[in-house]
Amino acid sequence: MSSIVITNPIIWADVPDIDMIRVEDTFYMVSTSMHSMPGCPIMKSNNLKDWEIVNYVFDTIEDNDAHNLSDGKGIYGQGSWASSLRYHNGTYYVCFSCNDSQQFYIYRTLDIQHGTWERSVINGLLHDPGLLFDEDRVFVFSGNGNIYITELTADASEIKPDGIRQLLIEGEREGMGLRIEGCHAYKLNGYYYLFFIDWPRTGHGRRRELCYRSKELLGPYEHKVILDDDLGYHNKGVAQGGIIDTPIGEWFTFLFQDHDAVGRIPCVLPMSWEDGWPVIVNDGKAPISFEANLPESVSKPIVISDEFDYQENKLALNWQWNHNPDNKRWSVTARPGYLRLETSQITDRVVLARNTLTQRTEGPACSGKTVFDLSYMKAGDHAGLVALQSGYGTVGVQAEDNGERYVVMGINRGDGGMETVEKHRYEESQIHVKINFDFRDSIDLAYFYYSTDGLEWTQIGRPLQMRYTLDHFMGYRIGLYNYATKQPGGYVDFDYFRYSKSIEEKGI
């Protein structure tokens, strides 16, 4: 088998809380998606380097005011957290908890790439679950600081009435900012292995990866720190994940690293075993690049351009809605070759607007642009492109009561509502808008532009200082939006979305 070079991060975008499995010679990965719908993206790879999105576990989790952005708050920073992915006796399983619903969800399918998922719901949280199939028994390891073991029924659909449910491990308390969490559980060569992240205030003072092991399910467990490294990046620890092997028996660990505004980015590191402990193959340091005995593969983009040329009303898998969409208010077939977004509920801010259609942004820099038809906007409507996080920035068109339109650059004024930074009167029937994202060395600046012809661009407003904040708990996304502040029913037609993994040096 020919070797390949794997370079970290394997995806320079927000793909956090990853879990991986291998089925024969194919690797699958799931990650946290929180308030983005559809959710729990399933990615596929033949070599741990080149990943493509092949499915989602669910279209929506719940149909309620919070998930529909109708409660004035939404589920930002909540939704699906830290999913666990496993394959057992021909069935694929994904489980996670939702802080907003205070429930634990378990999904099952026979076809991870094309199948639909059957779900079970258990009241209560099992925080950051690690699912383990141990012969004919099923366990979930969960918790923060105090780690619990909960036994499920054989079909993993509910808590086993007479099964094990107890405290298993108490993580260190002294000098800890974050105690152990994010469990990934395995049974190998007579040992139970549990992998965790923690974050001490002492030493390097960064996130690190720990492994606990025991020959008995209920312990006692001994543990070691297996990685305390930042890939040379601002003391941002590489941690929280598990382990995976290849068909020829090589081992790797998969983890992620905080990269400020772009989000939490996944990494893969070579690993070996010494005295029954996992060891990072690089003197315990995380390598930026290394060789692996895995096949070459065609790289598929995680973020795509889209001409909206669809034969049916179904979007490419790269797109996700911000919260649940209102499926009656969008279409890629009503006007062939265009994405139509029609306004529905009244709001005064983009973070509460339904049917904002998003993709990830990518480092070290990227750019997205679109052109849309303004002809059917109603007074009070706002439409355009958003750099989406709590500290958002927008560039688009605002329709006024007197029929005039303005191109506006706006930001979160501090309470979620939009502060207009700059506005220009605009008289054309369509407009081109663009956002450039610069994540190099965490400079984290976004620049906003508009154009009448898509050739000559005018910068508007000021660069947005992007910040990753925990109220959204997600890296910046780029989104197409249209919302009404006065009356529903107006619409705009987006002709395309064009994406580039680079920007010109002057931000244009």
Q: Which two tokens stand for residue 241?
A: 């994940």
What was the pLDDT predicted at 329? 98
What is the distance in angstroms between the CA of the first residue and the CA of the last residue of the chain?
44
Query: Residue 366 pLDDT more than 60?
Result: yes
**156 alpha-carbon distance from chain centroid:** 25
Which whole number is the average pLDDT over 68-82?
96
Beta pairing class for 381-388 and 393-399: antiparallel
Which whole number is the average pLDDT over 493-497?
98
Which whole number is the average pLDDT over 293-303?
95
Q: Which two tokens stand for residue 324?
A: 């649940």
Tell me the pLDDT tens digit for each residue of 411-451. 999 999 999 999 999 999 999 999 999 999 999 999 999 99
The fraction of the chain above a pLDDT of 70, given in percent, is: 99
* 126 Cβ contact partners less than 8 Å away, ≥ 6 residues apart: 95, 97, 104, 140, 142, 148, 150
CA dihedral defined by 315, 321, 327, 331, rounded to 10 degrees? -40
Sign of the four-CA dihedral 137, 17, 87, 288: negative
What was the pLDDT predicted at 1? 57
Query: Residue 480 pLDDT more than 50?
Result: yes
Which whole number is the average pLDDT over 109-119?
97
Q: Output the average pLDDT for the chain.
A: 96
219: amino acid identity, one letter? G
Confidence of residue 123 (pLDDT cuts 50, 70, 90): very high
Confidence of residue 508 (pLDDT cuts 50, 70, 90): very low
Which whole number is the average pLDDT over 462-472?
97
Tell me the pLDDT tens digit for each residue of 125-181. 999 999 999 999 999 999 999 999 999 999 999 999 999 999 999 999 999 999 999
Q: Where are the domains of the chain?
A: 4-292, 320-500
Confidence of residue 257 (pLDDT cuts 50, 70, 90): very high
Tell me the pLDDT tens digit for each residue of 367-387. 999 999 999 999 999 999 999
What was the pLDDT predicted at 467? 98
Fold for the domain defined by 320-500: Jelly Rolls (2.60.120)
Classify the phi-psi angles of 9: left when phi > 0, otherwise alpha if psi is within -120 to 50, otherwise beta: beta
User: How much of the chain is helix, strand and coil, in % rounded to 5?
Assistant: 0, 50, 45
What was the pLDDT predicted at 283? 85
Q: Map residue 442 onto helix, strand or coil.
A: helix
Tell me the pLDDT tens digit for each residue of 334-358. 999 999 999 999 999 999 999 999 9
Which whole number is the average pLDDT over 222-250?
97
* 508 Cβ contact partners less than 8 Å away, ≥ 6 residues apart: 436, 447, 449, 457, 459
Cα dist from 261 to 8, 13, 318, whole Å? 18, 10, 20
Please give the class, per CATH, of domain 4-292: mainly beta
DSSP 402-438: TS-EEEEEEEE-SSSSEEEEEEEEE-SSEEEEEEEEE
Give 276 or 502, the one with higher predicted confidence.
276
Tell me the pLDDT tens digit for each residue of 198-218. 999 999 999 999 999 999 999
Which whole number is the average pLDDT over 497-503?
94
Query: Residue 311 pLDDT more than 60?
Result: yes
Which whole number is the average pLDDT over 261-276?
98
Q: Are 171 and 212 in contact (CB under 8 A)?
A: no
**387 alpha-carbon distance from chain centroid:** 15
How far apart are alpha carbons 399 and 484 in whole angstroms?
10
What was the pLDDT predicted at 507? 45
Tell me the pLDDT tens digit for each residue of 44-61. 999 999 999 999 999 999
- What beta strand segments (E) does 36-163 contain? 36-37, 39-45, 52-58, 80-88, 91-98, 103-109, 118-123, 130-134, 137-144, 146-152
Confidence of residue 3 (pLDDT cuts 50, 70, 90): very high
How far apart are alpha carbons 411 and 391 in whole angstroms?
7
Confidence of residue 272 (pLDDT cuts 50, 70, 90): very high
Cα dist from 92 to 86, 89, 164, 195, 345, whole Å? 6, 9, 23, 21, 38
* Number of alpha helices (DSSP H) and beta strands (DSSP E) in the chain: 0, 38
Tell me the pLDDT tens digit for each residue of 5-46. 999 999 999 999 999 999 999 999 999 999 999 999 999 999
Which whole number is the average pLDDT over 81-107?
97
Which whole number is the average pLDDT over 317-333?
98
The fraction of the chain above a pLDDT of 90, given in percent, is: 97
Decide whether 4-292 matches 320-500 in CATH topology.
Answer: no
What was the pLDDT predicted at 438? 98
